[in-house]
Chain A
Amino acid sequence: MQFVSLQFLIFIMGTIFIYFIIPKKVRYIWLLLASMAFYYIVSGKFLVFLIAVTLVTYGAGLLIEKNKEKAPKTAKLCLVLSIVLLVCLLGYFKYTGFLLETVGNIVSLFKLSDTMPVVNIILPAGISFYLFQSIGYLIDCYRGKIPAEKNYLRLALFISFFPQITSGPIERAGNMLPQFKEPKSFSYEAMRDGLLLMLWGYFQKIIIADRLAVLVNKVYESPSSYTGTVLFLATIFYTFEIYCDFAGYSCIAIGTARIMGIKIMDNFSQPYLSESVAEFWRRWHISLSTWFRDYLYIPLGGNRKGYVRKLINLMIVFAVSGLWHGAAWTFVVWGLLHGVFQVLGIVLKPVRDKLVAVFKIDRESFSHHLLKILVTFMLVNIGWIFFRADTFETAIYVLTHMWKVTLWSLTDGTLFTLGLAEADVRLVIMSLVLLVIVDAFGKKGIVIRDRIVAQSLWLRWLIYIVAIIFVVTCGVWGPGYDAATFIYSSF
């Protein structure tokens, strides 16, 4: 069941309706049932695997808490074993093929053997997300940040909560379990806010991302057929596609939960308006970035073990982050590239400070902010090339051929030959402008949703109706479309 489907809308309407008419104390059970049903529809028999993960996490949590005071070594062993088990499960499903392929490449490089076994392991939907949630929960229990959850059903709901199970946000037990324990009453304001968030999510997904996907796929299917500005634009389009796709999903997930009075952490905060790559990672996929910070970077020593160790830790975290995103070396390179950007940012900071002083640059000037945003955007954009390309050859081709200036591609109709009709290209460009404006306001702390809600009834109803009709009418959905699934749901 895709988020962009009538079935999903009917599913959430039914789920939410029943959620609010049943007694509060059993609502978490209803949500668990709905979540399990959702996961069964999405991933079929892997529901059993999900239940197994919840059981392991539940048991390990209880054991950790039981031994934490009296036998800390046992608690630690329990933590380590459970994490190893969960990571091995992730490794089996996600990285076996990758590992065998890598070994095969090495073997064929040295001409040791001609054939290597090929495996085709189906990836359970959302495995990277809910296993990370489970690991986070166990570490929090071990650290004593939260008590182990005694109610299995409630913990199972935390791991399998349907709005976030396939693509996050990767939540913390400390935030979610209390909300499941004490559900909120129905709130008109929460419902409205949730619906507006969902609408914005659908705008990003079916108005922008799915249209950009057509252009991007066309170019990346045969990159050598393109050069110069078209390639450059394709990379920019992908940069926005992945943002709108993933942020769109997150908005729909967060909005769905908000209607039920459940607050899920924000996952995106105007990432492309960041002024450094480090800031980008504080604004992009926030739930994953903070997960890596809390459960990998800090345990590795963070910045407490010296300058060099800090830089090494950064590289480790981003290499792992790359691997988390996809079982391919292109993803690892993407992660490492972001690590290198940040390491260079730290290493070159004195040089940058010196240049600012020498040229008497006003760090607070608009132009300086804009320059930093543009430079950061381009660095991130270069990183996405490795993320999107299927092979290194493709990535290198795009990276080396996109700089040739062929500006006439913007005016000679080339853009209209990339699989989208003229009207669609114009619509997506206008929508991108709107997206940037909304993000710019957001960065200044102005939430457009709140501004709309503050308007008089006729105006805000007009905005709601126009927005709903616009998204539904101009959105990419229905037969005849191969609407891209959410990119992050494959991670």
Chain B
Amino acid sequence: MKRKFLLFTKTVAFLLILLFCFMAVALVVERKSSYIKNEMYIQEAEKEHVDVFFLGSSHVINGINPVQLYDEQGITAYNLGGYGSVLLSSYWQFRLALERRIPDLVVIDAYMLENDVRYVDDPNANVNSDELHLNIDRFPLTRTKILAINDMFQDDAKKYPFLFDYIIYHDRWKELDSDDFNRLTGNADINRFMGAEMKYVMHSDGFTYTDYGAGTLDRETVGTTYLRRIIDDCQIRGIKVAIVTVPFLAMAENQAAAHTASQIASEYGIPCLNMLEIPDVVDYGLDFMDAGHLNILGATKVTRYIGNWLKENFDLADHRGDAEYATWQKCADEFYDSQKSALTGNADIHTQLIMMKLDGDSTSFAFSIRGGSVAYADDVLMRQLKSFGAGEKLDEAIASKSSYFLISDHGNITEFAGDDEEKVIETSDGVITYEGVSDLYRIMNIGDDKETNYLYSDEFAYSDVQIIFFEEGEVSSHQYYTGESFDYSYEER
């Protein structure tokens, strides 16, 4: 009997150790994307710091920046948007998040309201169900999670990897890096934008928004059903709800979906913000990374607009200055610091101009294009320059392919095109002298130093674009971009 007891005890001890080791290995091999995106939510929800949920698709992930919302309005929101999420998956994302925290307000983006496919693993769903791992994996296996998977998937075989992700992630053993092991110690990198992901690229097409004069959806869809479920669930729990439609290049059916969202909102008596129909919130030519997703410029505008709208329509607490919310302030500081540090030194010229645009008018800089440059064929670059205030001189330079020079004195623009006699521009950061001698040879001096020509050196004679930041009469950064077609190589001094 004693031996049997000993063997039993040993077996149980062995199984416990084995289970512990397996859990550790499962943490190491798991794909970290969901952990990265949602870990901050888990931490802040535990502290009851999340007042607002943003639900939706990648439009929300890329379009609404909770860190900016905190910095500007003091609202503590978490971006629970998911790549490829339809209202069905947003509903279950909401339910999973709800297990950790009952928020004051839930904001739902109505994109894909027209989607009428019942299951995400339906081949007609046009959704990559693998993307759901981003939403799901970080949340532990609970009854809600089981309900979610059963509701979203029709094929049993496709459910298991969502319930036990080790089934698919064990094969990551061959791609493990330090971040994977840091998951064990809790030191792995996580998303510091409260679930959002900002994009610093700009689409190459010049989009213009078309109003198709669409009505509303002509039927109830899976999307509308689950939107109603979210609203119902919120109202049962006393959570306020709002519907928004974040701007994108909407087609007729999308516009009808947005109208339907407004209709549903009025049925329930809840606020609705259809940003597709609010002019001038975003610039469709500059503020998107593609037809659907906002870049950082667009996200900044949309977040600001939504923040003000939320303040007007809901009584949300302003947590700025509250020591308990130091993490939020730290994240905001990190975000703006990282933007500041990225003001110069971007190898991609379009990203460089995005960062300069984001910086607003805090710096002074000169922007020069040599005559005959391929840069004039770069529509994106030209649009970006115009957004800074470049005008008829730029058009003149584009038409004649002559050299171009622009000075921004904290937002005050002066521009020149072609060969011209010496011009003196007085700026708040020093006196600039510019002379366009030829396509390649241009002269730029700062202050009394006539020996140093910042726009010409033998080494960079053929660089297409030069950007020179100056402050109090000194050059702080000088960047050269040389283009073959539209692909620029980059040098910095």
Contacts and interface: CB of A to CB of B under 8 A. Distances in A.
A423 B173 CA distance: 9
Interface of A: 188, 421, 423-424, 427, 461, 464-465, 468-469, 472-475, 477-481
Contact of A423 (B21, B160, B174): B174
Contact of A469 (B25, B161, B167, B174): B25
A270 to B, nearest CB: 29
B171 A468 contact: no
B12 interface: no
Contact of B167 (A423, A461, A478): A478
Contact of A461 (B17, B157, B168, B171): B17
Contact of B7 (A188, A421, A474, A479): A188
B157 A465 contact: no
A465 B18 contact: yes
Nearest to B167: A478
Given A188-B7, A465-B17, A472 B170 contact: yes
Given A469-B21, A469-B25, 7 more contacts: A423-B175, A424-B174, A465-B18, A473-B170, A475-B170, A478-B167, A480-B171
Determine the interface band of chain B, counting residues with CB < 8 A from chain A: 10 to 19
24 contacts: A188-B7, A423-B173, A423-B175, A461-B14, A464-B18, A465-B17, A465-B21, A468-B18, A469-B21, A469-B25, A472-B22, A473-B25, A473-B29, A473-B173, A474-B170, A475-B170, A478-B167, A478-B170, A478-B171, A479-B157, A479-B158, A479-B160, A480-B168, A481-B171
Nearest to B157: A479
Nearest to A472: B170
B393 to A, nearest CB: 55
A224 B51 CA distance: 65
A474 B21 CA distance: 15
Contacts of A423: 173-175
A461 B167 CA distance: 24
A193 to B, nearest CB: 14
B27 to A, nearest CB: 12
Contacts of A472: 22, 170
**A-B pairs with the 7 shortest C-beta distances?**
A423-B174, A478-B167, A473-B170, A188-B7, A473-B173, A465-B21, A474-B173
What's the dominant secondary structure at chain B's contact region? helix
Most buried by B among A427, A464, A469: A469
Contacts of B171: 478, 480-481
Contacts of B168: 478-480
Contacts of B25: 469, 473
Nearest to B169: A478
Interface string B148-171: 000000000110110000011011
A366 to B, nearest CB: 37
Contacts of A424: 174
Contacts of A481: 171
Contact of A421 (B18, B167, B174): B174
A471 B25 CA distance: 12
A473 B174 CA distance: 10
Contacts of B175: 423
A201 B157 CA distance: 25
A469 B25 CA distance: 8
Contacts of A479: 157-158, 160-161, 167-168
A422 to B, nearest CB: 8
B174 to A, nearest CB: 3
Nearest to B161: A479
Interface string B181-196: 0000000000000000
Contacts of B167: 478-479
A461 B17 CA distance: 9
Contacts of B29: 473
Contacts of A475: 170
Given A188-B7, A478-B161, A464 B14 contact: yes
B30 to A, nearest CB: 12
Interface string B15-48: 0011001100100010000000000000000000
Nearest to A478: B167
Nearest to B13: A461
Nearest to A475: B170
Kindly name the residue among B14, B17, B168, B171 whose own CB sees the greatest number of chain A CB atoms within 10 A. Answer: B171
Indicate the member of A424, A465, A468, A478 with the most B CB atoms within 10 Å.
A478
Nearest to B14: A461
Nearest to B175: A423
A177 to B, nearest CB: 30
Nearest to A461: B14
Contacts of A477: 170
A22 B189 CA distance: 54
A480 B17 CA distance: 29
A475 B168 CA distance: 11
B147 to A, nearest CB: 22
A374 B29 CA distance: 40
B314 to A, nearest CB: 43
A199 to B, nearest CB: 12
Contacts of A468: 18
Contacts of B160: 479
Nearest to B6: A188
A424 B22 CA distance: 21
- Counting chain B CB atoms within 10 Å of each CB, the highest count among A427, A468, A479 belongs to A479
A479 B163 CA distance: 13
